[in-house]
Structure 1
């Protein structure tokens, strides 16, 4: 039985064809055998169209949404999210902008400069970081400082704070933290400072937070109701029936899927991309386990400290009662 998506993308190969090619090349066969069975099945599912590719993962995202080769795709998506026309000037390295080594839980991370000088960081998290507000504020401050230093150097004595443009962080969560689940009907949160008096100030920081797990729940109930919904579907859904509905309603996504399935015909290349994603996910899983263990140790230390304090209070109470008893006996 042919996969549902093959009628739209005839370049998709069958499972037997893919396995035959892998088994006929010792290098590819060795890589495939080193994967866990679940990983093997996931790979075969997306190269044969049984399921869609996880577009949001770094390697695949940068193939399909590369702002250096196809900037119009990312520009269109960002324009819908930011609700204003966006043009990309260049891609910037992200390494120097990280406050610390925060590879944990990230599955995609890209930093771009827009034509007006604004900086926009787009990242995806496998599991949402705890304390998303505090983390977001710190990272926005880091981006703002990066821009300030560059502009101050370029302008010299002519520098004015008017030269500072906005910095944005746009975060997509595969699995969002508890804060977002208190708003089950909302999956796009624009966060920026607002005055309690109504005074209008040009504030240079804004975050857009998108919990994709909540979006997918809404998608089941409401369907694809806007072009932005269509983009979020493309980035986060791997179910063939929904992909079919997407390209029927929004045919502009069909060329992107075609590019994906042409990449999937290059077995060696797509296996390299997938292997890289597995390394990232393995590293993130280990880091997540370390983070959870550290939190558990902190929690136990706090519990021990509380017990110690309670014990001290009990000792003091015993001493007080003994003193009262001694005084009464006298």
Structure 2
């Protein structure tokens, strides 16, 4: 029986065919049955078209959106997102220190240079980081400094700050941090620095955050409204019905799905891709839990500090009250002594 997507992509193989190939190969059999039942089911579902491919898998994304072999795809996506014509002229090496420092939490990191000299860093995160703003600002500053150093090196004595063209930092998140959940109807957040007076200056750093989990909820209710929604559906959704809606609305996406589904015909290769994604996800989950725990610890420490401050204030109030009580006691003792003295005087007068 055909799956929904096999009707559109006949290169997809049947479940029986894939399982037969796995069972005939000892290495593949060991690998397949080392996965949990839910993971085995997920693998078979996307290989047979029960569900779509998760395009944010590192290997699939880099294959289908590779700026070296198919730059027009990334150029179109970025052009629509940035609302400007985009021409990629160079793919720059990433920051290996950064990736090592983040213990592979950064799933995909593509850094390109546009025709006008602007740098654009596109990140894909399975699980969004804690402190997304602070972190992105730090790495954007690193890229800006990198561009500045290159411009000074090339221009030498002719260098001016006009030669520094700026940096875009674009972050797509499958599961976004809590701060984004406060805006359930917004799934593209654009940040840039502006003066409170209206004075305009280009401060060079711009940020775009795309929480795909929030996008999914919106598109499920409202449908695909425009080409930007089409791209986010392609990148972020594996629901078969949505994929069919997408290729019927924008047929040009069919070619990209076919690109990946031909990869899926090689069971050994696609099992390797899936195993790597599971390994990365496990590391991500551990790190995410660590980040969440650290955030909880920081919040608890802040609460404890506030409570300590309240206790200190209460101690000071109690000390002040004790001082007043002591003053009242002293006053009462003085009054009592005065009364005793008056009594003695009265007794002397009565004799």
What TM-score comes out, normalization by structure 1 length?
A: 0.92
SS at 1:32 equivalent: helix
1:202 — aligned with what? 202
Distance 2:297 2:202 in 1: 43
- Decide which moves more: 291-300 or 204-213: 291-300
For residue 174 of structure 2, give the secondary structure of its aligned residue in structure 1: strand
Go from structure 1 to structure 2 and tell me whether the alpha carbon gap of 1:141 and 1:325 turns closer, same or farther (over 3 Å shift): same
| Separation of aligned partners in 2, 1:195 and 1:133 | 19
Distance in structure 1 (CA, Å) of the matches to 2:87 and 2:106 = 25
Native 8 Å contact 1:58 1:109 kept in 2:
no
CA shift at 1:147, angstroms?
0.6
Contact 2:51 2:239 in 1 (8 A): yes
Pairing of 1:149-164 with structure 2 (within 5 A):
149-164=149-164
What does the per-residue CA deviation read over 1:184-234, in whole Å, with 9 as the maximum and x for residues that have no partner?
333222221223343333332211222222222221232212112111111
Report deviation, 1:164: 1.0
Q: Contact 1:175 / 1:212 at 8 angstroms: preserved in 2?
A: yes
| Secondary structure, counterpart of 2:73 in structure 1 | helix
Bigger drift between 93-102 and 159-168 goes to 93-102
Three-state SS of the structure 2 residue aligned to 1:206 is strand
Superposed CA deviations along residues 93-151 of structure 1, whole A, max 9, x for unmatched, are: 22257398234643322111222221111112223333333223222211101111111
Structure 2 counterpart of 1:134: 134
Deviations 1:155-188 (A, max 9, x none): 2112111111121011112222344344333322
Return the alpha-carbon distance in structure 2 between the equivalents of residues 99 and 45 of structure 1. 31
Could you say which structure has the larger radius of gyration?
2
* Backbone CA RMSD of aligned residues: 2.1
Number of equivalences: 330
Residue 85 (1) aligns with residue 94 (2): no
Structure 2 partner of 1:228: 228
Q: Distance in 1 between matches of 2:63 and 2:99?
A: 27
Alignment-derived partner of residue 298 in structure 1: 298
* 2-structure distance, mates of 1:198, 1:14: 61
Query: Which residue is equivalent to 1:289?
Result: 289
Q: Counterpart of 1:107?
A: 107
- Which stretch of structure 1 is more off in the superposition, 193-202 or 5-14? 193-202
Q: Is the 8 A contact 1:97 1:143 kept in 2?
A: no
Alpha-carbon contact 1:107-1:281 (below 8 Å) kept: no
TM-score (norm 2): 0.87
Deviations 1:278-322 (A, max 9, x none): 111111111111122222333333344344444444444444333
Corresponding position of 2:337:
none
In structure 2, what is the equivalent of residue 240 of structure 1?
240
2:167 touches 2:206 (CA, 8 Å); kept in 1? yes
Please report how far the alpha carbon of residue 21 of structure 1 lies from its aligned counterpart in structure 2 after TM superposition: 0.8
Are positions 1:271 and 2:232 aligned together? no
1:298-317 pair list within 5 angstroms: 298-317=298-317
- Cα separation, partners in 2 of 1:201 and 1:302, compared to 1, 3 Å: closer
